[in-house]
């Protein structure tokens, strides 16, 4: 229940975030890989490069040499690793029959399949499931751990799936169907990222201006530690 109240406060404060940026499901999948360990501005530059080279499609990227692909996505950082990961994802996707063909899998099966692809960990898989495939899966990232631990909802170091399932279960009480959960999970994760960047920052959180201050047991402690 408290999780939903927090969502409502964040939504009232920031409004709709319109996530995930991307023209189609494939572009969102590519962005989910490219955003690993880098800022979104760098991902946009890499995606622009792929678009300019007409490589923003699974067939083109899979057929490209790893070296050429790495150079195109260079702005995203870790470009050699990410080129291999993108090519693994593209080969897998082609083998599956494309993005639309993934609709034949239930949520749990598709998650397992994505996790079997080289370089796709739980957070990337869940980004793809939620934002590209419209599946009701909550994304847990460092921002989520920071905010929910400061709010004393979690310790913050729980195993990924323990935290994901606990959040999903708590929020399912406020939704009756998968169709309702997808937009809720979509918006909630985007709002967490927004709030963690603007207010609940890793260093020097702005507790004095925070919309969640009255609910947050960390507010006074962190405010008094700001230098
Ligand atoms: S009061 Fe401070 S620690 Fe709590 S959520 Fe807000 S910014 Fe984060």
Q: Which run of H or of E encompasses 145? A: helix 142-150
C-alpha of residue 35 to centroid of ligand 1, in Å: 25
- The pLDDT value given to residue 1: 55
C-alpha of residue 224 to centroid of ligand 1, in Å: 12
Distances (CA, A) of 51 to 27, 79, 128: 10, 16, 20
Rounded CA-CA distance 34/46 in Å is 8
- Span 158-210, pLDDT tens digits: 999 999 999 999 998 877 788 899 999 999 999 999 999 999 999 999 999 99
C-alpha of residue 199 to centroid of ligand 1, in Å: 7
- The pLDDT value given to residue 225: 59
SS3 assignment, position 79: helix
Q: Which residues of 102-137 are buried (b: 16+ CB within 10 A; e: fewer)?
A: beebeeeebbeebeebeebebbbbbbbbbbbbebbb
Report whether 191 contacts 11 (CB < 8 A): yes
Q: Average pLDDT for residues 35-61, to the nearest whole number?
A: 96
Q: pTM for the full model?
A: 0.95
Give the pair of three-digit tokens for residue 10: 């964040």
> Which domains can be identified in the chain, with CATH numbers?
25-132 (1.10.340.30)
Q: Average pLDDT for residues 43-65, to the nearest whole number?
A: 97
- The preferred substitution site among 204, 216, 226 for testing ligand 1, maximizing ligand atoms within 8 Å of CB, is 216
At 227, the pLDDT band (50, 70, 90 cuts) reads very low
- Span 18-31, pLDDT tens digits: 999 888 999 999 99
The binding-site residues of ligand 1, defined as CB within 6 angstroms of any ligand atom, are 147, 150-151, 199-200, 205-207, 210, 212-213, 216, 218-219, 222
């Amino acid at each position: 229940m408290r999780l939903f109240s927090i969502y409502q406060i964040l939504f009232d404060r920031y409004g709709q975030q319109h996530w995930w940026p991307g023209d189609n499901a494939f572009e969102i999948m590519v962005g989910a890989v490219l955003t690993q360990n880098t800022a979104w501005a760098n991902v946009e530059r890499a995606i622009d490069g792929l678009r300019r080279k007409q490589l923003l499609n699974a067939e083109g990227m899979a057929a490209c040499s790893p070296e050429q692909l790495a150079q195109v996505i260079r702005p995203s950082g870790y470009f050699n690793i990410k080129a291999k990961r993108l090519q693994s994802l593209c080969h897998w996707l082609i083998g599956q029959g494309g993005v639309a063909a993934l609709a034949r899998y239930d949520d749990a099966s598709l998650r397992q399949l994505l996790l079997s692809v080289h370089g796709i960990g739980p957070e990337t898989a869940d980004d793809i499931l939620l934002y590209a495939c419209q599946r009701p899966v909550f994304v847990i990232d460092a921002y989520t751990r920071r905010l929910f631990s400061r709010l004393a909802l979690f310790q913050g170091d729980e195993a990924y799936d323990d935290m994901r399932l606990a959040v999903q279960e708590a929020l399912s009480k406020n939704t009756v169907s998968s169709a309702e959960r997808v937009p809720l999970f979509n918006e909630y994760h985007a709002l967490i990222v927004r709030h963690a960047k603007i207010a609940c920052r890793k260093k020097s959180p702005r507790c004095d201006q925070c919309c969640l201050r009255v609910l947050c047991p960390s507010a006074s402690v962190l405010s008094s530690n700001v230098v």
